[in-house]
Amino acid sequence: MEILHLLLSGFATALQPDNLLMAAIGAFVGTLVGALPGLGPTSAIAILLPLTAVLSPTKAIIMLAGIYYGAMYGGSSSAILLGIPGDAAAVATCLDGHPMAKQGRGGPALGIAAVSSFFAGTMGVVALVFFGPMFADQALKFGPPEYFALMLLALTVVIGLGGASISKALAMGFLGYLLSLIGLGTMTNMPRLAFGYAPLWGGLDVISVVIGLFAISEVLNGIEEKKVAISMGNIGSVFPTRNDLRKSAIPTVRGGLLGFFMGLLPGVSAAITTFLAYDLEKKCSKTPERFGQGAIEGVAAPESANNATSSAGFITLFALGIPASPPLAVLLGGLMIYGLTPGPMLFQQNPDFVWAVIASMFIGNIVCLVLNLPLVGLWAKLTQVPFGILAPIILLISIVGTYTIRNDMLDVLVALIFGILGYFLKKFHWPLVPLIICFILGPMLEKSLLQSFAMAFENPFIFFQRPISLSLIVATGVFLIISIILRRRTNSRIASSGLEEI
């Protein structure tokens, strides 16, 4: 077992006190920046990357691993406490995490998020060690038709999460697709849906749409509900109760496995897997109507899927040199600055370094858990601030945060418009989730469709001629039928219980 030996020596490096300190600093700072509303892991890593430049390569990379996990965790804490997801992947966590925080159970929600992130992250690193090279070949087999089929599969989520009315969900989904296509055309590179307005050529930014729909509109709703505070009194114990743990154990495992295996495919982002995991839990649950109202399973599953997907992303990154998500792209940049070229040769060229990195990712994960469980109290204190103070803070940081993503004032305007739009859509019970999912998936759906046609020389049957895409399409059909049947059964129950849709 040469691998084990190498891994152990990697641990020896990563566990040196000064290296451990770097991991701790990285995890703390990463969480802090990631927890700023609107700043997701991508921006957090990009921002903190220069800070590591003063260190020696090994220390810097260990710190980067800490920052990475910290930023991932920080993103979910603002999603849970403030209902403001830092990136698209945290939207699913919002759905149940924020209601939990509103009910005064922010502590357990954050605790479960930390625990399930840790579990999935660890699982991912272990898998990276043993299966990394094996999966590399499989990932390459995914061509455009397979991705198209995969996007269709993800579309069933829209039906599953769409609230009471399928037609409303579909309409919102189509709108989401349409909005995502604003910008330069895939094929011609000519502007489309911009109606002659040049600043729109760059398209709408996901984060500004998300902040508008989920943060600004939420605050507007808050004013109306005359909230004194998002949560007064106790946020609940920081540590999840045994009951919480028991309830979320299986969702964590399920979400982790789903997130991991889907995440092995380059291009399947955590945004996709978190929604799939959430939907899967809702389907498996005996009480699906609790979802969206603060079900702890609805926090555990997407959080676990999120981290498992990013861990799986490490495999495609290290084994193929393909960054599977924006945060990994930034991390790739960081690795390359230190002379590491991810790719199949990496393990042969720089074994010591690589195994130190893998070990430090493991350590970073643990440090994150150890650091964050006690600090959950600190993050959760945020929710005890009166609404009259918290709301202006959220509104202003939403605006400033939106601006800093692309340094573009147009994004701010977009966020404001979507804030008002979100307010009215909620009023009239049009579901927001399909809009945002389709907005995220739209470009990939279109691209894979056009690419498939191109590579098959305009043969539309290509999707049914390749085994992987065919089985995905069959799976889509099956899921669609199941979810429509399930809806019929639960629909009346949800409607009669008078609960609000997400």
- Taking the C-alpha atoms of residue 421 and residue 313, their distance in angstroms, rounded to an integer, is 35
Which residue intervals of 264-386 are DSSP H helices?
270-284, 297-315, 326-337, 346-349, 351-381
Q: Name the CA radius of gyration of the chain, rounded.
A: 22
- Looking at the Cβ atoms of 12 and 393, the one nearer to other proteins is 393
- Taking the C-alpha atoms of residue 212 and residue 159, their distance in angstroms, rounded to an integer, is 23
- Taking the C-alpha atoms of residue 172 and residue 361, their distance in angstroms, rounded to an integer, is 39
Scored b (16 or more CB within 10 A) or e, 27-56 reads bbbbbbbbbbbbbbbbbbbbbbbeebeeee
- Looking at the Cβ atoms of 377 and 386, the one nearer to other proteins is 386
Which DSSP helix (H) or strand (E) runs through 183?
strand 183-184
- Looking at the Cβ atoms of 8 and 409, the one nearer to other proteins is 409
- From 355, 363, 359, 356, select the one nearest 24 (Cα to Cα): 363
Which DSSP helix (H) or strand (E) runs through 239?
none
- Looking at the Cβ atoms of 141 and 246, the one nearer to other proteins is 141
One-character DSSP codes across 95-107: HHHHHHHHTT-HH
Helix (H, G, I), strand (E, B) or coil at 471: helix
Minimum distance of other proteins from residue 384's CB (angstroms): 15
Minimum distance of other proteins from residue 118's CB (angstroms): 27
Minimum distance of other proteins from residue 454's CB (angstroms): 4
Minimum distance of other proteins from residue 181's CB (angstroms): 6
- Taking the C-alpha atoms of residue 114 and residue 130, their distance in angstroms, rounded to an integer, is 25
Minimum distance of other proteins from residue 185's CB (angstroms): 3
- Looking at the Cβ atoms of 283 and 447, the one nearer to other proteins is 447
Task: HSE, CB side, 13 Å, CA atoms: give it for residue 184.
Answer: 7
Minimum distance of other proteins from residue 109's CB (angstroms): 25
Sign of the CA dihedral with 277 first, then 204, 422, and 379 last = positive
Minimum distance of other proteins from residue 415's CB (angstroms): 9
- Looking at the Cβ atoms of 36 and 101, the one nearer to other proteins is 36
- Looking at the Cβ atoms of 261 and 453, the one nearer to other proteins is 453
Q: Tokens 């691998």, residue?
A: 3
Which DSSP helix (H) or strand (E) runs through 382?
none
- From 373, 432, 466, select the one nearest 172 (Cα to Cα): 432
Could you tell me the two tokens for 356?
């130190």
- Looking at the Cβ atoms of 49 and 370, the one nearer to other proteins is 49
Minimum distance of other proteins from residue 71's CB (angstroms): 13
Burial of residue 141 (number of CB atoms within 10 Å: 0-12, 13-18, 19+): exposed
Minimum distance of other proteins from residue 437's CB (angstroms): 15
Burial of residue 342 (number of CB atoms within 10 Å: 0-12, 13-18, 19+): buried
Give the Cα-Cα-Cα angle 128, 132, 134 (nearest 5 degrees): 150
Minimum distance of other proteins from residue 141's CB (angstroms): 6
Sign of the CA dihedral with 312 first, then 315, 318, and 323 last = negative
Minimum distance of other proteins from residue 117's CB (angstroms): 24
Question: Rounded to whole angstroms, what are the CA distances from 172 to 28, 148, 158, 428, 437?
Answer: 38, 20, 9, 13, 10
- Looking at the Cβ atoms of 167 and 242, the one nearer to other proteins is 167
Residue 5, C-beta contacts closer than 8 angstroms, at least 6 positions apart: none
- Looking at the Cβ atoms of 373 and 417, the one nearer to other proteins is 417
Minimum distance of other proteins from residue 238's CB (angstroms): 25
Burial of residue 172 (number of CB atoms within 10 Å: 0-12, 13-18, 19+): buried
- Looking at the Cβ atoms of 180 and 307, the one nearer to other proteins is 180
Minimum distance of other proteins from residue 223's CB (angstroms): 6
- Looking at the Cβ atoms of 286 and 348, the one nearer to other proteins is 348
Could you tell me the two tokens for 240?
């999840």
- Looking at the Cβ atoms of 1 and 190, the one nearer to other proteins is 190
